[in-house]
Structures are given as structure tokens and as C-alpha cells.
Structure 1
Amino acid sequence: MDTKWKSRLFFLGWSMLFAFGLSGLMAVMDGNGQFFKGSYFKTQQFETELNQFINYAAAFEWDSLRAEEAKKAITVSEEEIDEHRFRYGDLNDQVSNINGQYEDRIADAVSAGNKEAAEIYRKERDSKIDDITKNFSNDEFVREKVVKEKEQKIDEFYRSMEAERPEYDRYQSAFKYYLVDTKTDTVHTNLNVKSKSAAEEFLNKEYMLFIRNYTENGKGFLELQDYYKNINETMEPISGDTMLLEGRIAVSESAPDSNPVMVSYQNFKQQQKIFFIFVAASLVALIASVLTFKRMKLAVQRHGGEMLPLVNLFPVDVRLAAVVTAGLMAFAALEFLNVSIIYSADNFILSLDDIAICLAASTFLTAFAGFLAIGIFSEVKSWREFRMLWEKSLSVKIWNGFKDFFLIRSIGFQMAVLMAVVSILGASAVLVLIEPNFIIVFGLCLLMGLTAMIMLVRSTGYFNTIIANTAEIAQGRLGPDLPVKGKSVLARHAADINSLKHGFKVSQNEQAKSERLKTELITNVSHDLRTPLTSIITYTELLKAEGISEQERSDYIEIIDRKSQRLKVLIDDLFEASKMASGSIELVKEKVDLVQLLQQALAEHDERIAQSSLTFRVASPENPVYAHVDGQKLWRVFDNLIGNILNYSLENTRVFISVSEQQGQAIMVFKNVSKYELSENSDELFERFKRGDQSRHTDGSGLGLAIAKSIADVHDGSLDIDVDGDLFKVTVKLRAIGIQAV
């Protein structure tokens, strides 16, 4: 036999030991403490038998009343008379009820021409009315009726008592007693003795299996009133005072083996012996299973490698549920095993089949639960791993499914109502087949179902339209907008798809524009960089030529220097624009007077302004306008804007520059008249290398406005352009910190 099979058999053997050992523990804890009391006569079962015998003896022998005596002792109270009198209402109610009972009968008899029957009915009616009337006028008449009712109950009681006498006779063959009434000295015994001493001599441990002494110093006197009440509540009013009995009740050793008490006594002794053997054996099995647990676990992990990965494919909650279910079924099988072993004293051979089946079932279920548990513990070594495993469980998937089902509550609710209507419709159809009277309920459910079906068809058609339109969008065919019908979820979804479609169109236009601007950018960069570079290369070649004069050499060098400076400005601006676009610019912010900063920027261009034909008009407040900005970067904004004005303004026109503070904002406005025709789309002027001079004969780089806007943006401000014909207006807005902060 290979190692694998040995390991599997070892695991099954261990499971059997563990299950058998567990069954012993269950037997100890499962209400079998009676076997530890030592004797059957100390058990609750025997106390029940003894009390039953005392009840019978009290009723038949010790405190018995004959039927005639009981009837003579009957009394009737005023409350009982009133209860009988008003049992069916007052006099008028009862008379009306009787008249109503006979009215139809008499009318039917008269209409049938049966005068004799009608007369009989009238006599019966009148007799009952006379009887009822006497009930309300004569207490003695009512008292006699109540006495008759009680006499009937007493007769019924004694008839039922006689039916119990054979059971009492069987008890008498086992129980022997000698009791004396402490009040009347009346002796009650089933012994053939004449004195108390003779009875005590007979009722001793030598001849008796059990003796109960009822004495003032022992168990106390035997009180009969409680037992008497338990037998018959009807007899309680005539039972008299409590009877106190003194003496002994015993179980005879010579009682017949067929007597129920003796049968229970012998069975208890056998069951007690089996119980202790069973518990001892199960304890040994449990200890053995604990000692071999580690070996069993290693055997399963080593040689169960083929099965464990397959089992671990199931979700962890399914496996845990299987472990719990198998465990509960194993406990049930062990419970049956306990019963089959302990209570098989009467026929152990016939119980062997039950024992084998229960032991095999509990072994298999224990092995199954243990194998699954080992698989779980081998896969989960920490709480974090268990949480990760639980996220993939079936319970979480079902819960997420329910959450997704009600993600849009209106749809989830509608589907839930639809499923409920279908279920009710099906149930009502079954009810109609069983009980045709439910046809009305079925009709109502059918109407609800048809209404739900119409709504479902309409919603499904609308949904299909949305799906088809979405498929066309995915293929690039935008087509017309979807119809938005009502305020349902599908209508909102259709509106969202229309919005996406419009956004997609805008995106396509922006993409086309971006491609166009990218092409223009490459063209412009190539042109602006190539022009000065070509000049530098050309004049460098001229410098290499022989026979040039010093004046020519000096002029060439000056041109090369000017073009180099031009190339450096282009490269620096391009580098600055790239830094701005990537957001890698660093700001050194401080409190800056914007009026003074603007004046410094204008002062840098004094010479060009003086040489130009432009007239500058600068309006600024008398008080400083402060902002928390990077002074060097903001100076670059002013410098670029003033440079654009000098490069692109129409000659002999005025330039207006103003600085103001409004509602916590510092506002700088630059206005000039362009010498070149401007595009209506002012956003294009912010594109890099975009210039107002389309022929690109001016010295600008085309990056000035793009850099200026980026600097304004990183300061959480704005730079906006307005074009009105040839009027070019730039507005810069920054957050001011006010004069009070100075």
C-alpha cells in the first residue's frame, strides 16, 4: 500500500477516534448526570413514578369519596347562580334568541300546511321561554340546575378514575406502604400486618430496594391536598382540610420483573454500566486523537496536496458554511450514537446497525469538516490574508450584486416590484387551480401583470434605442440626438449620452484645431530659428573669404552678433514657455507695488517709446497697489506686453495703460491699435509662436503673450485679450492685498 493511501486511512482513523471521543463528552454534558447519582431511585424518573402512585393511591384509597358522598357535599354560591342565569345574556336577549330560532321553523311548517308540526314548535318555544323566565325569577330553580351540572361532572370524574384503576393496580404490585393519618390515626396500608412495628419490620432494607420515610424528622409528613387538586379540580371545593400522613413507602425486592417500575430499575442499571464503559472508552479515544493531531495535520498537508488546491477553489464562506453544516450534522449523528449505545440495554444486538451507521456518518462528517478546516487554515495565516480572501467570497459578491442592483434605486425598485408581481401572479394562478374562489384575486394580479408588461416593453424599446445609438457612437457615427422622454433613469441616461456626443464633437474640433496649431507651431519655429541661423552661417562663410576689408569684416561680425542675440532670445523664450507649460516654474513671492513695477517696465523702454510715433497715456492711482507676487516674473509680463505694443501698434496712435484696484483685485489694462489685421478668435493669439505679423518680418518671437498668460495663471490670476476690429486690449487681474496691509 503506497504512502498516500496510508495517510488517507490514518486520517479516517483519526476522524473516527475524534468523533467517538467527542461523543463521550457530549454524553456527559447531555443530561446524563442521572447515571452519576448511583441508584435509579435517586433519579427524576423514579420520583415521577412515585408521585404518580401517590396520586392514584390518594384518589382510590386514602382520601377517596364515593360519588354519592361527593354529590351530597355539593354547594352552590350566588356567583354560580348569576353565572348560569346570565350565561347567554339578559332575559330579553335570551327570549329574542329563542323566538328567532323557532320563527323560521314555525313559518315553514305553516306554509307547508303542517299544523301539527307548527304547534309542536310553538310548545317547545313557549316551554323554553317559561324555563328562561323562571331562571330570572326563582333562585332555587337555578340552584337545582347548577347542582345537576356538578353531579354530571362528578359522574364523569369517577368514570375517568375507573379507567385509570388498572394502572394503579400495576403500581401496587411494586410499591408497599404503611401510612397513618396524623389527625385521625387512620391506617392506610397494602400490607398484611396488624401493627406499625410489624410494618416497619417488613419495610426494611433487607426486603426492599427503596424506602421513603415520611416522619417529622425525615422527609416530613406526606401532604395529600396538592395531589388531590391535581387529580380533579371539580372536587376541590369539597376536599376538606389537608391530610398529613406518617409512615413509609417502599419498593419491594420481590416485585414482578414485568412491573414497569422494576423494568425501569433493571434498564437503568444496564444503561449506567454501558454509560461508564462508553465514557471511559471515548475519553481514551479523545486523548489518542489529541496526541496524534500534529501527525494527522502533516499527513493531510503532505498527501492531500492534490485535493486541497481543488477544495480551495471554492469561496472561503462556502467552505466555512460547509464546515459548520458538516459539524452540526456530525453532532446530530453523535447524539444518535449516544442514544444508540447508552439506551440499547434491552437489545444491544439490534442496536449494532444503528451504532455502525451513526459512527460511520459522524466519522465521514468529521473527516470532511476537518479536511476543509485544515485547507482554510493552511491558506490563511493572518487576519489580513483572511480579509483579502473574504473579499473574494460568495457573500461579498452577493452583497455587491445587491448594491449594484439598487445602485440606481428607481430601476432596482421597479425590477423588485416587477419580480414581486410575477411571483404573486404565479402564486395566484396556483391558488385558482386549488380553490376557484380566488379567481378575483387572480384577475387583479393579471391586470397588474399586464400593466407591468406594457411598462416593461416600453422601457425595453427605449433601452434598445439607447444601446443602438451608443454602438453607433462607438463606431464613430454620431448621428442625431436621442429623444429624452420624461424624467426616468433611461431619459437621464439618454440626456447624458447626448451630452457626451456633443462633448465628443467639441473634442474632435479641438483635436483638429490642435493638429493645425501643431503644424503651424513647427512651421513657425523652423522659420524663426532658421532665419537668424542662416544669416549667421552666411556671414561666417563671408568672414572666411580672403580679400575682405576691415570695414566689411566689422560689419559682418556685427550682423553675426545681432543674429546670435536674436537666436538667443528665441531659444530663451522657447525654454521659458516650456517651463511654464510643464509647471516647473518656481516663484519667489513678495509684496510688490504694481504701480511702481509698471513704471520700471516703462522706463526700460523709454528710448524705444521716444523713437516711436506712439503716444502713451498711463493712468495710475495716487496710492500704491500691492500684490503678493514674484516681482521678476511679473516684470516679464509687463515687459512682453509693452514690447508687443511697440512692435505691432499702428503708427501715430495712442496707447492707453491703466492700473486700478477694484473689489480686492488689482487690474492692469493695456490698449493699443494694431497695425495688422487681427483674427476674431483671440485664443489663437495665446498660441506659441503666434504673431500678429503673419509675414514674420518683425523681431518678435511669438511667445510673449503665451509666457505672459502662463505667469498670470501661476499667480492664480488671469490675462484676457479682447479684439474689437483693430483695437487690441489686454486685461491682467491679480489678487490685491490692500493698502492697509502695508
Structure 2
Amino acid sequence: MGTRWRNRVIAVLMALVFVCALSGSFYFIYNLDRFNQKSYFKTEEFQNELQEYANYLLANELGNISVESVKEKITVTREEIEEHRYEYGSLDAQLDNIRYQYEERIQLAEDGDSSEDPKEVIAERDTKLEDIQKNFSSDEHVEKKIIAEKEKIVEEYFAKDSNFNSYPSRFYDDFQYFFEQGEESFTNITVKKTSLNQVFNESNMLYVTKYKISGDYFHSTNWPYEDWLYQTIAEVRGDFEGIIGVPKGLASDSELMIAKIGYEDNRMWFWRLGIASLIALLIWFVSMIKVVSIPKERGKWQNLYAKIPVDLSVVVLGISTLIFLFSLMWVHDCINQLTYNSTMYLTEFVISIFISTVLCLLTYVQLRYLFTSLRHITDLRELWKSSLFFIIFKNCKKVYQRIYQVIKEAFLNTATGIQVFILLAIVFGLGFGFFMIFIDIAFFLLYFLFAVLIGVPTFILLVKSVGYFNKISIKTEEMASGKLGEPIEIKGNSVLSKMAANLNVLNQGVKVSLNEQAKSERLKTELITNVSHDLRTPLTSIITYTELLKKNELTAEDRSAYLEIIDRKSQRLKGLIEDLFEVSKMASGNIELVKERVDLNQLLQQALAEYDSSLKESNLQFRVTNTDKPLYALVDGQKMWRVFDNLIGNIVKYSLENSRVYIQVQQFNDKAKITFKNVSKYELNDQSEELYERFKRGDTSRNTEGSGLGLAIAKSIIDLHEGSLDIETDGDLFKVNICLRVVD
């Protein structure tokens, strides 16, 4: 137990010695320039007092300037003339400005709405106009005006600021001086110029120096006037050359002697303290090397300290070191104060030494524990993973990734992200500006302008955007419940406007989808009805005539006629079933094409030739136009012939009697266009897109022999050839356009 207490006492004493030695060393190094001068008169402190004394003499005792002497030195430069002339713009601009200023006054005076005489106002205006014209025509006129302005400033300076505050040196009563300017001399002692060397010499003076006071240093504060006045006054004052000395025989209680003796005493004490501190610091350092050692085993407090992350230990050690260094600066300041007063700051000095010693011990213990902990480390990777920085970095990385993801999602739409961040910046700016008003009322005007010009429009825009967003939200709920209604009004080009536009497109799409669904249901019903009708009609005839054939009383002629009807209806029923089966195969893609290089003109002529007899029997007039040269396409000739056959058959069946039919073959770049035009005998009802549907006919009464599958088959064949078949109707005009890719 005794050994432990003895070690603690030694540690405290060592810390105390270290603090005192280090503080004394700091004080020695910091004040070395101050106490390195052998004489007080060479110190910076004395030289500053000397300069302050000279400045005071210049301002209060040397020379005498007057308003008139300064006015005589006033000059006007060419630049000042031009600046005065063009201060308010060009000649025309200044004249127009004066006329505009007096225009309303003259009008009010002439109308009797003011007490002014119109002639006097006009005369005043003309005087100013004349003065402006003289400014641009005469340099002398401008020069006189500038001189008058400068003289007014000079008078103001002498009335207010010529006797500015100046403070004499605290050694004012201890200095003696003699200065000259031309033939005039200034002194505070009785001496002649011829006997200056006898008075101002080293035998009579503690300190003597030749000194020159420049006239341009007569105001020690910021100059509130223009530079020309400063330069003019400096020129009027001029320079003073002379001697300043400190006489021997000053009283011991004079300010200068007190400062001189105090400096000499402090200088001796300074060197003793500095040398002693450096020696003590050296002895302490040698002792620490021999005495201090890092323990190999951990103690109780060491084990607790080892649980602290090593980087946190380093940071705490750094903070303790900084606080310890600041405490040393406090000790240094106390030592510095003791050089001026040996008792007033003694208590503070003792307290600062005690606190610095405690901080020194704390820093030393941390440093010792840290080295002990580092000594037992075997795996640097585990040390890194257990560090506080790694834990913070790991968590910060997760937070950063989350923040990055959130920001990334906010900027999926760049315009929206930027607008939101600008809005947040304005809101935070308004809040920050509001608190700045309490710091400085000068911010009120700036905050008011910011709030009116930016804050209010932003608030209005935000309210409108919220209202617009509510409309979109309500419309979305209505659409979700099946109420489509009218589209939303599109306002501006914002993100909400685009959202509203997309919602309108979706709304319209739903309407179209419902219409298509209704149309699909209608066409499905019509398909079933038409299929039932077209298949049942021949089947009914077959059944009816078959029942008639079962009767024995039929004649041979009737039996033959019935069999012919049954055969014809059977063939029609077979054709309907084959067409239905074929169009189903084409729609499902289960059909193979045998493509060959075919001349479309020749193929069309072959199809027309098949209907040669029908065309001659009909009263239709065909107008066929082909290209001058063969027009080849890579197609299945048999299937393409079927397309032409179906279209020509429809024309023969459904064209208005005694009308013309136009068939035209053209080539546009790499496309072949085949057009069929005829006038229908049946009303088309502007439903051209429905004519593609199966069993759909222009003959709504379904009295013709068509299957209603011709156009559906034709379109399926053209689609398989990667071409296009379009139907156009205009009244009763029926037009089919076929486009196919041509080959060489």
C-alpha cells in the first residue's frame, strides 16, 4: 500500500514539474523578442509610444492650417470635369429629364391647380437647361462649380472634424522635442537652434533620436471624406524634421521611468525563469525515460479501458491533449500578468497550475493505457472491425444507401424532384429568414421582399397544385368505381397536368374498350345469327325437298327438279362450310403459303377472265388500268387469285346496275397498290370496318348468294403476305385498297 501511494505522489510531482517547466518554456519562447532588447528604448512598446507622441504633436502643436490655406490648394482635374459633366447622362438625356420634371408643374400652374406662377416655373426650368448646356460647352463653368463644391466640403471639415480626437503618449510630460518647417521652429523647451547639439546629446539625454513627421499622417481613424481633401490638407501641413529626446534626471515616479525600470526588472526575471524552465524540462524528460515503463499485464482499470474502441480512445486522448495545451496557455497568461502585478494574479496562477497538473495526469494515464492496449493487439483486422469508426461507417453506409435510394426515387421524374427540392428550399429559406429578423432587424426588408415576391406566389401555386391533385384523386376514385364521366381539364405543363392527361387517355381508353366490348358482343350475336341463318336456309331447303321426294305421287319431272334443288343447296352448304373452315385456318395461322414470283397484272387479268361471261351478261362497265410493265410480287399465286376472285365476285353481286367499276394497278416505290372501286346497290351505313367480320354483308337482308366470308378471307390472305387490305366507304361508294411489296 505504501509503495502505491508513493508512486502516486511521485506521479503528481512529476506532472507538476512538467506543467511548470513547460509553461515557463512557453513563456520564454513567446516573449523572447520582447525581452531580447538590452535597452527599454529599443523595445516595440517604447517605439509605439514615440510614434503616438509624434502624431499628437502633428495634430495639435506643429503648424497651423486654416480654411483659406486649404482652399488655395484646391485643384480640379480633367477626369473630375468629365465625371461632373456626365454624372446624370448625356446632354440630351439631362435636358429631357429636366423638361420632364417641370412638365407637370408648368401644366398645374397654367391650369390654376397650384399657387406657382407659370412664368416663374418656366424661368426656373430654362435656367437649369441653360446651366446644363454650359456644362457641356465650357470647362471653366464646370470647374467653378466643382471648386465651389470642394470649398463647401472644406468648410464643413473645419467646422466639424478638424479638431478630431487625438491622444498624447502616456510619456507626454517626459519627452522633449525640437522641430522645424522652413524658417519656423517648434519646441517644448527653451533652446536655440545653434545649441541643439549641446542639449540633445547622450550626456544630457537617456535617449535621443532624429525624427521626421510626414504631413499625410494627421488622422489616425478611417478618413470619412474624399481622398483629395486628405491629400490637400497633408500638402498644406507639410513635413516636420527635428529631434525627440528623453532627458536624464526624470523623477523615479514618472511614467517613462516606471516603464523603464519595470522592463529591466522583468527582463532579468524572464531570463532566470526561461533558463530554469528549460533545465527542469530537460531533467524531467531524462527522468521519464529512466522511470516510466509500460506494464506487461493489465490491471483492473486497464481491462475496463480496453473495452473502449481504440479510435474513440485516440479521439478522447486528442481532446484531452488539446484541453491540456489550452490550460498551459492559461498558465502562460497568468505568468505574463504576474510581470505587471505580483499579487493580483497569484491566486489565478495557482489555480491554473493545479488544473493543468490534473489534465497532465489524465492525459498521461490515457496515453499509458492506450499503449498497453495496442501492445496486446494481435489481429489488426479484428481491431478495425471493433473500432467505433467502422461501426459508424457501416451504419452510415446503410443510411447513405437508403437516402440514395429515396433521392433516386424522388428523381425518377427529374422535373418533379427539382420542383420539390426548390419548394423545400423556399420553405426553409422563409423559416430561416424569419429567425434572422430577430438577429438583425436589417433583414426585415430583405425577408419581406423574399416573402412577397417568392413566398406568396409559391404558396398560391402550392394551393392550386393541391386542389388540382384532389381533382385527379377524385377522378381516379370515380374511374375505379366505374363512373367514367367527363375528362379532367388540362392546365399548364406540370407533372400533375401530364398525370391528368394520362388519366384522360386511360379514361378514353376505357370508354373505347367498353365500346369495343359492346361492339364485339353485338358482332358476336350477329355472327351467330348470320351463321345460323346462312347455314339453316340451304339446310331447310334440303330437308323440305327431301321430305317431298319421299312422296310416291311425285312425277318424274318434279322429282328431277327437287333433286336439282337439293343438289344446289347442298353445294351451297358445302361452300359455306369450306369457306368457314378456311377462314378459321387463316385466322389461326395454320396454313402454308407457296410463294412464287408472280406478275400481279397477269394474275388480275386471269381472275377477270374467269368472270368474262358474267361480266358480259351484267350491265356493269369495267375500267381496268394496269402498269406499263410487269409488276412482280413474291406471293402464293393460288391464294392471291382467291383474293381477286372474291373481290370481283362481290363487285358483280353487290354493284349498282348500270354503274362503272374501276380497277387500277399502280406502283409507289417498292409497293404495289391495287384498287377496286364500285357503287353498292345496298346502303353501307358507314360501317366499313365491320365488313371484315365473318358473315358480314352489305346486303343486310341476306337475300344474295354470298357467304359473307369473302372479305374476311381476302384480308386474312393479304395479312399472311405481310401486306394490307383497307376498305373505304363514302356514301354508297365502296373502295378496296390492297398494298403488297414488289420484287425485281
User: The TM-score by the shorter chain falls in which range?
Assistant: 0.5 to 0.7
What is the match of residue 285 of structure 2?
264
Structure 1 position 595, deviation (Å): 0.7
Distance 1:712 1:108 in 2: 107
What is the match of residue 429 of structure 1?
434
The question of whether the paired residues in 1 share the 8 Å contact of 2:655 and 2:681 is answered with yes
CA change 1:160–1:502 in 2 (3 A) is farther
Structure 1 position 714, deviation (Å): 3.9
Counterparts of 1:27-106 in structure 2, within 5 Å, are: 66-67=38-39, 104=160
Output the amino acid matched with 1:331: D
What is the match of residue 271 of structure 2?
165
CA change 1:130–1:473 in 2 (3 A) is same
What is the match of residue 454 of structure 1?
460
Select 1:439's aligned residue among 436, 441, 444. Answer: 444
Distance 1:510 1:70 in 2: 108
Counterparts of 1:46-445 in structure 2, within 5 Å, are: 66-67=38-39, 104=160, 132=214, 141=242, 161-170=267-276, 259-271=280-292, 273-274=293-294, 330-333=310-313, 351=365, 395-445=400-450
Distance 2:291 2:472 in 1: 81
Distance 1:569 1:394 in 2: 75
Deviations 1:611-660 (A, max 9, x none): 55555443334421222333233212101112212333345655443323
Structure 1 position 417, deviation (Å): 2.8
Percent identity reads 44
The question of whether the paired residues in 2 share the 8 Å contact of 1:648 and 1:676 is answered with yes
What is the match of residue 674 of structure 1?
680
Output the amino acid matched with 1:520: E
Structure 1 position 499, deviation (Å): 4.2
Distance 1:646 1:729 in 2: 14
The question of whether the paired residues in 2 share the 8 Å contact of 1:330 and 1:366 is answered with no
Deviations 1:117-161 (A, max 9, x none): xxxxxx9xx97999546999889748989xxxxx99999997775
Matched, 1:468 2:474: yes
Matched, 1:577 2:609: no
Output the amino acid matched with 2:701: S
Structure 1 position 592, deviation (Å): 1.7
Output the amino acid matched with 1:731: N
The question of whether the paired residues in 1 share the 8 Å contact of 2:677 and 2:735 is answered with yes
The question of whether the paired residues in 1 share the 8 Å contact of 2:597 and 2:633 is answered with yes
The question of whether the paired residues in 1 share the 8 Å contact of 2:620 and 2:658 is answered with yes
Query: Which SS does the other structure have where 1:274 is aligned?
Result: coil
Distance 1:704 1:611 in 2: 22
The question of whether the paired residues in 1 share the 8 Å contact of 2:213 and 2:240 is answered with no
What is the match of residue 207 of structure 2?
none
What is the match of residue 718 of structure 1?
724
Output the amino acid matched with 1:332: L
The question of whether the paired residues in 2 share the 8 Å contact of 1:626 and 1:736 is answered with yes
The question of whether the paired residues in 2 share the 8 Å contact of 1:70 and 1:154 is answered with no
What is the match of residue 742 of structure 2?
736
Structure 1 position 419, deviation (Å): 1.9
Query: Which SS does the other structure have where 1:479 is aligned?
Result: coil
Query: Which SS does the other structure have where 2:483 is aligned?
Result: coil
**RMSD of the TM alignment (CA)?**
6.1
Deviations 1:461-513 (A, max 9, x none): 23323332333333333334433334444344444444444444333333222
Distance 1:544 1:714 in 2: 48
Matched, 1:630 2:663: no
Output the amino acid matched with 2:438: L
Structure 1 position 700, deviation (Å): 2.0
Structure 1 unaligned regions, length at least 5? 1-44, 72-79, 110-122, 146-150, 175-258, 287-325, 376-389
The question of whether the paired residues in 2 share the 8 Å contact of 1:719 and 1:733 is answered with yes
The question of whether the paired residues in 2 share the 8 Å contact of 1:690 and 1:702 is answered with yes
| TM superposition score normalised by structure 1 | 0.53
Select 1:603's aligned residue among 590, 603, 609. Answer: 609
What is the match of residue 234 of structure 2?
none
Structure 1 position 535, deviation (Å): 5.1
Deviations 1:70-106 (A, max 9, x none): 89xxxxxxxx9xxx9xx99xx999x989999986377
CA change 1:107–1:268 in 2 (3 A) is closer
Matched, 1:530 2:539: no
CA change 1:491–1:154 in 2 (3 A) is farther
Select 2:704's aligned residue among 698, 703, 707. Answer: 698
Deviations 1:383-412 (A, max 9, x none): xxxxxxx9x966455334324434444443
Matched, 1:688 2:668: no
Distance 1:459 1:402 in 2: 22
Q: Which moved more, 1:330-339 or 1:663-672?
A: 330-339
Q: Which moved more, 1:701-710 or 1:151-160?
A: 151-160
CA change 1:487–1:563 in 2 (3 A) is same
Deviations 1:189-231 (A, max 9, x none): xxxxxxxxxxxxxxxxxxxxxxxxxxxxxxxxxxxxxxxxxxx
Structure 1 position 425, deviation (Å): 2.2
The question of whether the paired residues in 2 share the 8 Å contact of 1:424 and 1:445 is answered with no
CA change 1:155–1:332 in 2 (3 A) is farther
Deviations 1:297-325 (A, max 9, x none): xxxxxxxxxxxxxxxxxxxxxxxxxxxxx
Distance 2:449 2:390 in 1: 56
Distance 1:423 1:373 in 2: 32
The question of whether the paired residues in 1 share the 8 Å contact of 2:680 and 2:732 is answered with yes
Query: Which SS does the other structure have where 1:591 is aligned?
Result: strand
Distance 1:528 1:428 in 2: 85
Distance 1:701 1:534 in 2: 16
Output the amino acid matched with 2:160: D
The question of whether the paired residues in 2 share the 8 Å contact of 1:337 and 1:355 is answered with no
Q: Which moved more, 1:592-601 or 1:661-670?
A: 661-670
Distance 1:374 1:668 in 2: 78
CA change 1:267–1:439 in 2 (3 A) is same
Distance 1:716 1:153 in 2: 113
The question of whether the paired residues in 2 share the 8 Å contact of 1:337 and 1:354 is answered with no
Query: Which SS does the other structure have where 2:294 is aligned?
Result: helix
Distance 1:156 1:580 in 2: 121
The question of whether the paired residues in 2 share the 8 Å contact of 1:669 and 1:730 is answered with yes
The question of whether the paired residues in 2 share the 8 Å contact of 1:625 and 1:736 is answered with yes
Distance 1:673 1:469 in 2: 47
Output the amino acid matched with 2:712: A
Structure 1 position 569, deviation (Å): 2.8
Output the amino acid matched with 1:170: A
CA change 1:515–1:595 in 2 (3 A) is same
The question of whether the paired residues in 1 share the 8 Å contact of 2:311 and 2:389 is answered with no
Distance 1:406 1:134 in 2: 64
Distance 2:417 2:361 in 1: 62
What is the match of residue 708 of structure 1?
714
What is the match of residue 599 of structure 2?
593
Distance 1:577 1:458 in 2: 57
Deviations 1:249-286 (A, max 9, x none): xxxxxxxxxx4333322323344x317778xxx9xxx9
Output the amino acid matched with 2:424: M
Matched, 1:483 2:463: no
Distance 1:610 1:458 in 2: 75
Output the amino acid matched with 2:437: V
Distance 2:693 2:276 in 1: 117
Distance 1:712 1:65 in 2: 114
Structure 1 position 683, deviation (Å): 1.9
Distance 1:649 1:355 in 2: 111
CA change 1:130–1:263 in 2 (3 A) is closer
Query: Which SS does the other structure have where 1:513 is aligned?
Result: helix
